[in-house]
């Protein structure tokens, strides 16, 4: 009798397992034929995308030749360097200069798209303030005559081969790298002293990533 009871229990368990496997298989096959986004890494359905942009380098110095670009100079404030966001004389959009005569300063980020799909770089959040892509720089050579206005950024390649042309699109292909030239917004509540942390978040058309903390005054 004991042997018969154990055999009956085993038969029930085996039957339940077979039913479970059958149901799971049916769900997967149905999802596949219905085009479920589980099988499509480039799907755009909410919740199927993951943040893919990673900051792999930056230049936040209060000095000259940011990211090795000749004209891209922040005004060096001695003896306590800082990135000026309050500079707006005569215009926040002007190139950085002495505190009484220039605009806001620059930072440069190098980013990589680690995802399987291209992404649109929509804005960069710097210490809680959005900096959007400056479409007016499209296809212009980055120079003292053409650069993003305050509160915006332009996109350039990672190469310093002249001429350095600003991108005509804010899209970044899978495995692609680019540099973002950011002209700091005057809406940032206070100037950023050297060695202070800067909270950066690159916003794309995919899920927003967590913030990255970088250090003012340094380069990587």
φ/ψ (deg, to 5) at 20 = -60, -45
Query: Do the beta carbons of residue 190 and residue 85 sit within 8 Å?
Result: yes
Determine the pLDDT at residue 46.
Answer: 42
140-147 long-range contacts (CB < 8 A, ≥24 apart) are 140/165, 140/166, 141/165, 141/166, 142/69, 142/72, 142/166, 142/181, 143/71, 144/71, 144/95, 147/72, 147/95, 147/181, 147/183
Provide the pLDDT for residue 7.
53
How many other CB atoms are there within 10 angstroms of residue 218's CB atom?
13
- φ/ψ region of 139 (left if φ > 0, alpha if ψ in -120 to 50, else beta) reads left
Report d(CA 114, CA 52) in Å as an integer: 5
Is the peptide bond preceding residue 127 cis, with omega within 30 degrees of 0?
A: no
Instruction: Tell me which residue of 43, 201, 48, 38 sits closest to 129, measured CA to CA.
Output: 201
The residues spanned by each domain of the chain are: 2-34, 53-215
Strands 171-172 and 119-126: antiparallel
Question: What pLDDT was estimated at residue 137?
Answer: 97
Q: Please state, in angstroms and rounded to a whole number, the distance separating the CA atoms of residues 167 and 141.
A: 9
Residues in the chain where the model's pLDDT stays below 70: 1-10, 23-51, 99-100, 208
**Predicted local distance difference test score (pLDDT) of residue 66:** 97
Q: For residue 33, count other CB atoms closer than 10 A to its CB.
A: 9
What was the pLDDT predicted at 145?
94
């Amino acid at each position: 009798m004991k042997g018969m009871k154990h055999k009956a229990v085993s038969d029930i368990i085996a039957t339940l397992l077979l039913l479970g496997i059958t149901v799971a298989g049916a769900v997967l096959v149905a999802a596949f034929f219905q085009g479920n986004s589980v099988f499509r890494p480039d799907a755009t359905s909410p919740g199927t995308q993951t943040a893919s942009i990673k900051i792999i380098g930056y230049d936040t110095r209060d000095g000259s030749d940011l990211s090795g670009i000749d004209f891209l100079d922040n005004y060096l404030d001695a003896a306590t360097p800082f990135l000026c966001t309050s500079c707006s004389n005569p215009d926040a959009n002007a190139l950085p200069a002495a505190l009484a005569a220039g605009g806001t300063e620059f930072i440069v980020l190098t980013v990589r798209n680690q995802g399987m799909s291209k992404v649109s770089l929509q804005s960069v959040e710097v210490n809680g303030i959005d900096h959007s892509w400056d479409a007016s720089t499209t296809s212009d050579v980055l120079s003292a005559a053409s650069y993003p206005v305050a509160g915006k950024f332009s996109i350039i390649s990672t190469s310093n081969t002249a001429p350095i042309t600003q991108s005509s699109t804010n899209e970044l292909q899978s495995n692609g790298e680019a540099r973002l030239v950011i002209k700091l917004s005057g809406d940032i509540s206070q100037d950023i002293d050297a060695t202070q942390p800067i909270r950066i978040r690159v916003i794309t058309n995919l899920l927003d990533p967590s913030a990255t903390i970088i250090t003012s005054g340094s380069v990587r």
